[in-house]
């Protein structure tokens, strides 16, 4: 048999490779401390689980769902956006439920990218932006995220011929992997840039509800005119610790939402209805768990950042997201450093190079690790450094 060239051209997905290495170590009987994948270790709040249990017993929820999702769910998303960001959304035209934001992000490229088209991709960045572009036959133009610019892309550095040909501009704030945040002034410049070059802006906002130190991240949709040029992807995964539930949403421009709906309707049957009802409970019910969980992440952040700087791994405290982006010591490359930590002391970190060429020289550590394991991981890094 012959696998398609589009699949053959895909690089191995970063976290699959990391998981394979960890599995081999565990199979050899080693205890591994894993700062790798950003998967919350804190359980889903009980009232959400209870709603799912109730809805699972309803036979009406055992049938195919609609790709467009329950109108009740779309209204709950719209209401949440208004309460949280002051953004008004038409639940019938400007909201689309997703099987997790990753699914929607991956599929949106197919709605706009034809072979040879250009997508503007942040580097370092979430691998799905570039991966989906490649699968469409498109070309990624990297937007360097440099520390001296606060890990924001310099839009004015994009060559005019590239900006004029590009179809999509991908953004992600709070940022994975750097932990950087963007303000409203930046988003306003993005909307103006998109208008000038007839670009679709795709903002991955999955981490807006993981924040610290009285900071609350904004939404792209708060900018006047944002719905004219773009969409925003969000998720219940990080907000309510529901990564395994696979439920998220796209909101914004109705034409873009409709294109994504039409593409999805040919490939999937939507979010299972019982999960949609649980998601309604999450968005409409008590929100105090978000503050409680963020206090846990903030304590872990403070402890980890202090320890990393103590051993010479320069790291700044992120104001949002649950990632710490740390510089590796000279003369190591990020992959070599990550490999050494895993082999020598059984600690998993993610090499920055896996997120793009401008991620070289850094590693990413996730705060989604139980406190006792966090402490042990810190001690192992300290012992290895000494």
**pLDDT above 90: residue 9:** no
Q: What distance in Å separates the CA atoms of residue 145 and residue 276, rounded to the nearest whole number?
A: 36
* pLDDT (average), residues 94-112: 97
pLDDT for 25: 74
Question: What tens digit of pLDDT does each residue of 129-164 get?
Answer: 999 999 999 999 999 999 999 999 999 999 999 999
Question: What tens digit of pLDDT does each residue of 266-297 get?
Answer: 999 899 999 999 999 999 999 999 999 999 99
Enter the DSSP assignment of 10. S
* pLDDT (average), residues 315-321: 97
How sure is the predictor about 381, in pLDDT bands with cuts at 50, 70 and 90? Answer: very high
Q: What distance in Å separates the CA atoms of residue 16 and residue 89, rounded to the nearest whole number?
A: 36
- Give the domains, in start order, of the chain with CATH numbers: 5-44+288-385 (3.90.1150.10), 46-284 (3.40.640.10)
**pLDDT above 80: residue 11:** no
Q: How many CB atoms lie within 10 A of CB 188?
A: 16
* pLDDT (average), residues 351-379: 97
Q: What distance in Å separates the CA atoms of residue 257 and residue 374, rounded to the nearest whole number?
A: 40
Q: What distance in Å separates the CA atoms of residue 123 and residue 178, rounded to the nearest whole number?
A: 10
Higher pLDDT, residue 25 or 304: 304
- Global pTM? 0.95
In the chain, what percentage of residues exceed pLDDT 70? 98
pLDDT for 252: 98
pLDDT for 56: 97
pLDDT for 14: 65
How sure is the predictor about 26, in pLDDT bands with cuts at 50, 70 and 90? Answer: confident
Question: What tens digit of pLDDT does each residue of 76-92 get?
Answer: 999 999 999 999 999 99
309 burial (CB, 10 Å; 0-12 / 13-18 / 19+) is middle
Question: How many helices, marked H, and strands, marked E, lie in the chain?
Answer: 14, 12
Question: What tens digit of pLDDT does each residue of 170-193 get?
Answer: 999 999 999 999 999 999 999 999
**pLDDT above 80: residue 165:** yes
**pLDDT above 70: residue 15:** no
Angle between helices 273-284 and 46-56 (to 10 degrees): 150
Average predicted confidence (pLDDT) for the chain: 95
How sure is the predictor about 235, in pLDDT bands with cuts at 50, 70 and 90? Answer: very high
* pLDDT (average), residues 352-378: 97
**pLDDT above 80: residue 22:** no
pLDDT for 19: 74
Residue by residue, DSSP assigns 303-366 as: HHHHHHHHTT--B---SBSSEEEEEPPTT--HHHHHHHHHHHH-EE-EEGGGG-GGGTTEEEEE
């Amino acid at each position: 048999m012959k696998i398609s060239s589009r699949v053959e051209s895909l690089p191995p997905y970063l976290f699959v490779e990391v998981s394979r290495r960890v599995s081999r170590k565990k199979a050899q009987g080693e205890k591994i401390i894993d700062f790798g994948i950003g998967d919350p270790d804190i359980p889903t709040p009980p009232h959400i689980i209870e709603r799912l249990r109730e809805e699972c017993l309803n036979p009406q929820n055992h049938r195919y769902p609609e790709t467009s999702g329950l109108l009740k769910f779309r209204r709950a998303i719209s209401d949440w956006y208004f309460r949280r960001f002051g953004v008004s959304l038409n639940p019938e035209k400007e909201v689309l439920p997703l099987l997790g934001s990753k699914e929607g992000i991956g599929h949106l490229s197919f709605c706009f990218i034809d072979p040879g088209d250009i997508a503007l991709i942040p580097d370092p960045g979430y691998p799905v932006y570039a991966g989906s572009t490649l699968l469409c036959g498109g070309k990624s133009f990297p937007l360097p995220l440099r520390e001296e610019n606060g890990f924001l892309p310099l839009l004015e550095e994009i060559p005019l011929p590239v900006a004029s040909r590009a179809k999509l501009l991908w953004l992600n704030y709070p940022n994975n992997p750097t932990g950087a945040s963007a303000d409203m002034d930046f988003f306003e410049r993005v909307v103006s840039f998109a208008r000038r070059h007839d670009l679709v802006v795709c903002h991955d906002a999955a981490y807006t509800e993981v924040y610290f130190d009285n900071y609350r991240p904004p939404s792209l949709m708060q900018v006047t005119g944002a719905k004219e040029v773009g969409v925003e992807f969000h998720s219940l995964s990080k907000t309510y610790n529901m990564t395994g539930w696979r439920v998220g949403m796209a909101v914004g421009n109705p034409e873009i939402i409709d294109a994504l709906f039409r593409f999805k309707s040919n490939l999937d049957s939507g979010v299972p209805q019982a999960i949609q009802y649980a998601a309604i409970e999450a968005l409409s019910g008590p929100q105090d768990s978000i503050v409680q969980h963020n206090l846990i992440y903030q304590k872990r952040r403070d402890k980890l950042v202090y320890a990393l700087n103590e051993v010479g791994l320069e790291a700044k405290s992120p104001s949002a997201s649950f990632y710490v982006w740390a510089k590796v010591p000279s003369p190591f490359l990020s992959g070599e450093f990550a490999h050494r930590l895993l082999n020598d002391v059984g600690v998993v970190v993610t090499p920055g190079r896996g997120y793009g060429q401008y991620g070289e020289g850094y590693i990413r550590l996730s705060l989604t690790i139980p406190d006792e394991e966090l402490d042990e991981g810190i001690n192992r890094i300290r012992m290895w450094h000494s």
